[in-house]
Structure 1
Amino acid sequence: MTSPAEPTGPGRVLNAPMTAVHPELRGKAAVVTGAARGMGARFAAALAARGVGVVGADIEADAMAVTAKEINAGLAGTDAPGRVVAARVDVTRAEEHEAVARKALEEFGRLDFWVNNAGIFPFAPVEEISPEQVGATLAVNVEGVLFGAQAAARHMKEGGAIVNMSSVSAVRVRRGRGAYCTSKAAVAHLTESLAVELGDRGIRVNAIAPGFIDTEMTRWVQDDPEALRHALDTVPLHRLGSPEEVVGPLLFLLSDSARYVTGHSIAVDGGSRHV
């Protein structure tokens, strides 16, 4: 039965915060790319609230600085020792990932977690996909993940964890998203490759594969009633997910609760991959 406090109707989103604490995260350090807004900002805030020192990195440096300031202001007066430090990164440039990793070491003296969240979501019918779109999508969504993992692995010790952002689109075709779907399928397979090779060093690598989550990236669905209806028809839970519902799996994958979990993509999609 639906609680009176829960939202109802098409497109409803459950935004209740996750109650998972994971005290073992306290005092550790993380990098989150694409952290200026959307899920990346939520990830940074959730980690900092649990005592993690976070370098939030984004190509939009000014927006990242504002987000870091807002998160830190929200933590003022709490007992959480975590904080967010802003950095700029162009994820298509390997050397900039290295600079972000070194910033984490300078600020926090360690690097335990790396979240490859930055990505782009281009649209074009298949006959209109340009070489430029393919190149940009693979550069950000795939090379950006690889370069981030490389930088993380160079500085992490045994017990480190990397989480990549894949998508339900890695296993489901979405019209007009050929370049995007291809890139996310590549991320899913790259995650497995990284898990195998970095496992020798005790570093775990997993991915999260969101479905329709209430972020700016899916605003086009919510602004089109017909598109929203069609989208919800493919989701067994018949609602959009919230960024908070992606935070929970992220915390799990970084925590000791997942210390024997590597090489997996966890779908956070309301079951849509099965429809």
Structure 2
Amino acid sequence: MSNTAEPQATGAEGIGRVDDRRPVAVHPELAGTVAVVTGAARGMGAAFTSGLVRRGVDVVAGDIDLDAMTRTAEEIGAESGAVPEGGRRGRVVPAAVDVVDPDGHEALARLAHSEFGRLDHWVNNAGIFPHAFAADITAEQIDAVLKVNVQGVLFGAQTAARHMRPGGAIVNMSSVSAVRVRKGRGAYCASKASVAHLTESLAVEFGDQGIRVNAIAPGYIDTEMTRWVREDPAALQHALDSVPLHRLGSPQEVLGVLLFLLSDSARYVTGHSIAVDGGSRHV
């Protein structure tokens, strides 16, 4: 599952295109560390896992679909590309996890320790993206989105804090939808606003342990979760019109922010949600 791509134009001639170049920053201090990534079988989770492995990070990659996770892990393991200084590529261990189950997170942490002997980073990436207009949201829908998108983040962060040493970093996935309303996504928007505020609470409380907690708030990113945008010309045009840079983002551009937040470059950064949205929250 190679993420290689020819550099894309980003000026006026590149409007509407996706820039899928890999992040330039290497962050050599990440090599030899260990991360857990949830929702890692596809989309941004797979890009995160691949990017970490390329920088020498060992990853326990969890997903509710173990078959898909295993295939993705095999593809990442077969990738070629630059090896970090010191000649080390990371290793991926696939695992099944349902993030609404606290015991599932505990199993991921124990797997990290049994396979690699430590745990340094935790990325709460798993999430769902339901569609229903406010008047039609059912009890089952709101329950599901809050369990996966909010409780899943909380349980993951709790587990990480129990197993990390001072200096550990947790990154949650919020969304530009935490601050912008999208018709038909009321339950999702509410869940991501909760994640953004929960991140601040976790940062304050886990700071006593020397653990940093931040969030990333993507906008329109070109993944399977937003394929509906590409498949609907009107939706795509609306998306491009609402982004000052007039293009969709790529998982690689979100990866660059993740690497920064996990790195020593961000060792005094905690309690923040960093938008990766092409400026769309301002429109």
Same fold (TM > 0.5): yes
Letter of the 1:186 counterpart: S
Give 1:115's aligned residue: 123
Find 1:17's aligned residue among 19, 22, 35. 22
Deviation of 1:6 (Å): 2.3
Give 2:246's aligned residue: 238
Q: Distance in 1 between matches of 2:81 and 2:138?
A: 47
Give 2:98's aligned residue: 90
After superposition, residues 1-275 of structure 1 pair within 5 angstroms as: 6=9, 8=13, 11-75=16-80, 78=83, 79-275=87-283
1:200–1:120 distance in 2 versus 1, CA, 3 Å: same
Spell out, residue by residue over 1:246-269, the C-alpha distance to the aligned partner (whole angstroms, 9 max, x if none). 000000000000000000000000
Q: Distance in 2 between matches of 1:252 and 1:80?
A: 20
Letter of the 1:261 counterpart: V
Give RMSD over aligned pairs: 1.6
Structure 1 runs (4+) greater than 6 angstroms displaced? none
Deviation of 1:9 (Å): 5.7
Q: Could you tell me whether the CA contact under 8 Å between 1:57 and 1:88 is conserved in 2?
A: yes
TM-score, with structure 1 as normaliser: 0.96
Q: Any idea what SS the aligned residue of 1:141 has?
A: helix
Q: Any idea what SS the aligned residue of 1:185 has?
A: helix
Q: Any idea what SS the aligned residue of 1:80 has?
A: coil
Q: Any idea what SS the aligned residue of 1:68 has?
A: helix
Deviation of 1:77 (Å): 9.6
Q: Any idea what SS the aligned residue of 1:101 has?
A: helix
Deviation of 1:226 (Å): 1.0
Letter of the 1:54 counterpart: V
Q: Could you tell me whether the CA contact under 8 Å between 1:35 and 1:57 is conserved in 2?
A: yes
1:250–1:77 distance in 2 versus 1, CA, 3 Å: closer
Q: Could you tell me whether the CA contact under 8 Å between 2:212 and 2:271 is conserved in 1?
A: yes
Q: Distance in 1 between matches of 2:88 and 2:170?
A: 23
Q: Could you tell me whether the CA contact under 8 Å between 1:48 and 1:80 is conserved in 2?
A: no
Q: Any idea what SS the aligned residue of 2:153 has?
A: helix
Spell out, residue by residue over 1:90-117, the C-alpha distance to the aligned partner (whole angstroms, 9 max, x if none). 0000011000000000011000000000
Deviation of 1:5 (Å): 5.1
1:109–1:197 distance in 2 versus 1, CA, 3 Å: same
Q: Could you tell me whether the CA contact under 8 Å between 1:115 and 1:164 is conserved in 2?
A: yes
Q: Any idea what SS the aligned residue of 1:205 has?
A: strand
Q: Any idea what SS the aligned residue of 1:206 has?
A: strand
Q: Any idea what SS the aligned residue of 1:188 has?
A: helix
Q: Distance in 2 between matches of 1:75 and 1:104?
A: 24
Task: Note the residue ranges of structure 2 that are not aligned, 5 or more in a row.
Answer: 1-5
Q: Could you tell me whether the CA contact under 8 Å between 1:11 and 1:222 is conserved in 2?
A: no
Q: Distance in 1 between matches of 2:247 and 2:81?
A: 34
Letter of the 1:93 counterpart: D
Q: Distance in 2 between matches of 1:266 and 1:5?
A: 24
Deviation of 1:81 (Å): 3.0
> Share of identical aligned residues, percent?
71
Q: Could you tell me whether the CA contact under 8 Å between 1:10 and 1:229 is conserved in 2?
A: no
Q: Any idea what SS the aligned residue of 1:122 has?
A: coil
Aligned length: 273
Deviation of 1:75 (Å): 4.8
Greater shift, 73-82 or 224-233, is seen at 73-82
Spell out, residue by residue over 1:27-86, the C-alpha distance to the aligned partner (whole angstroms, 9 max, x if none). 000000000000000000000110000000000001000111111111599533311100
Letter of the 2:75 counterpart: E
